[in-house]
Amino acid sequence: MQMVSLKRGVSQNMGFATAVLLLLVLYLTYNMMHPRGFSSAVAIQNSNETVAIAFVAMAQTLPVLLGGLDLSVGAVMTLTNCVASLLLNGSPAQILLGMGLTLLTGTMFGLMNGLIVVYGRIQPIIATLATGAIAMGLALLIRPQPGGNVDDDLGWALTNSVWDLADTYGFADGGDAWWLRPFADIPVPFLLVLFVAIFVWLPFRRSVTGRTVYAIGSAEGAAYMSGLPINRAKIAAFTLGGFFAACGGLYLAIQTSSGNADIQQAGAYTLNSIAAVVLGGTSLLGGTGGAIGSLIGAMILRVISFYFRILDIDPLLQPLIEGLVLLTAVSFGAFRTLRVKNQLDLFR
């Protein structure tokens, strides 16, 4: 019985299972080839560089599940990055308030996106194209030049291992307590992403609102006729997307101690988030997939770029290889067309 349900679970989540497998193979091989592989230092560095794109990919997942697309995630992340670079200093209470305000900024922006999409009845892709421009404008207002002032202790503690976190803030005997030992070498950024995924995404997915998001992506008309709260789910999806993007911006500010309102960078994050979502097994047509998959997708994208450091590849060829890998990965979706028995099923 267990086997049957496992088998069915895998076959229903083919994309997700493939992504997990691909990530495992890629990352294990990477660590085996790395001269200092399987060490805490490598894991910390890798996870630090993955957090921002992972959060942005999770943010992109929700609008995609609705069957839409959010072209403002990169811009919202940049905006919150700039807000955080301004607020994360002073006393601990001030820092906490700053974090709260940063997350609130992103969440409010997501809420605005949701309201425009639901009550303005504008297609998500074009509405967020416009609000993305507005977010970039606000980010440039806040931070015309790159820079910032982020508390040093915070920056150190959250971008290293659990031991460093305990050491910096002096709990658990400065990190030497026996009960902390098993976790001491785990990178904090990895735990942060896991924390948000488990305590924000999973409960949302199980709620009526969350399931309505999936229902809308599958068949909006049917969801409406079944009496599901369509408007609430759409607004919630965009709001949560804004929150995830804000998490990314907040972490980027902590990691780099600065804010940078760079339009190119924001655009790159948005486009990479779409790629990560697709790699993670979420359908761009909506209705299937999830934020955990996008998390895996983002990790795959990053691990591929890690390879360039240990392999002796001409840096000039890197963008080409990245592009080819992306194109090949998404082309695997074409296998679906081979299995279709009725030509008509190919058309939406």
Residues forming the site for another protein (CB under 8 A): 69, 71, 116, 120-123, 125-127, 129-134, 136-141, 144, 220-221, 224-225, 230, 263-264, 267, 271, 274-275, 278, 284-285, 314, 316-324, 326-327, 330-331, 333-334, 336-337, 343-344, 346-348
Residue type at 334 in one-letter notation: A
Q: What is the residue type of 318?
A: Q
Task: Give 204 or 224: the residue with its C-beta nearer to another protein.
Answer: 224
- Of 139 and 292, nearer to another protein (C-beta) is 139
* The Cα angle at residue 107 between residues 102 and 108, in degrees rounded to 5: 100
Choose between 130 and 202: whose C-beta lies nearer to another protein: 130
- Least spacing, CB of residue 76 vs another protein, in Å: 12
Q: How many other C-beta atoms are found inside a 10 Å radius of the C-beta of residue 21? A: 11
Cα distance between residue 22 and residue 30, in whole Å: 12
- Which CB atom, from 53 or from 127, has the smaller least distance to another protein? 127
Nearer to another protein, 42 or 118 (CB): 118
Q: Shortest Cβ distance from residue 323 to another protein (Å)?
A: 3
Residue 228's region, left for phi above 0, alpha for psi from -120 to 50, else beta, is: beta
Q: Which residue has the tokens 């998001």?
A: 213
Give the span between the Cα atoms of 209 and 232, in whole angstroms: 7
Largest CA-CA distance found in the chain, in angstroms, rounded = 66
Helices (H) and strands (E) in the chain, counts: 18, 0
Calpha distance 61→70 (Å, rounded): 9
Which CB sits closer to another protein, 185 or 322? 322
Beta bridge partners of 161: 187
Q: Quote the distance between the C-alpha of residue 76 and its chain's center.
A: 13
DSSP conformational letter for 182: G
86 CA to centre of own chain: 23
Contact 236, 209 (CB under 8 A): yes
User: What is the closest distance, in whole angstroms, from the C-beta atom of residue 327 to another protein in the complex?
Assistant: 4
Q: Pick the closer one to another protein by CB: 175 or 217.
A: 217
Residue placing its CB nearer to another protein in the complex, 36 or 348: 348
**Residue 227 C-beta: closest distance to another protein, Å:** 13
Burial of 155 per CB tally in 10 Å (0-12, 13-18, 19+): middle
Q: Assess contact for 167 and 175: CB atoms under 8 A.
A: yes
User: How near is the Cβ of 334 to another protein at its closest, in Å?
Assistant: 4
Least distance from another protein to the Cβ atom of residue 59, Å? 17
Q: How far is the CB of 99 from another protein (least distance, A)?
A: 24
The size of the chain, in residues, is 348
Q: Which residues contact 257 (CB under 8 A, 6 or more apart)?
A: 85, 148, 149, 150, 152, 155
- Pick 132 or 259: Cβ nearer another protein: 132
Least distance CB 137 / another protein (angstroms):
3
Min separation Cβ 294 and another protein, Å? 13
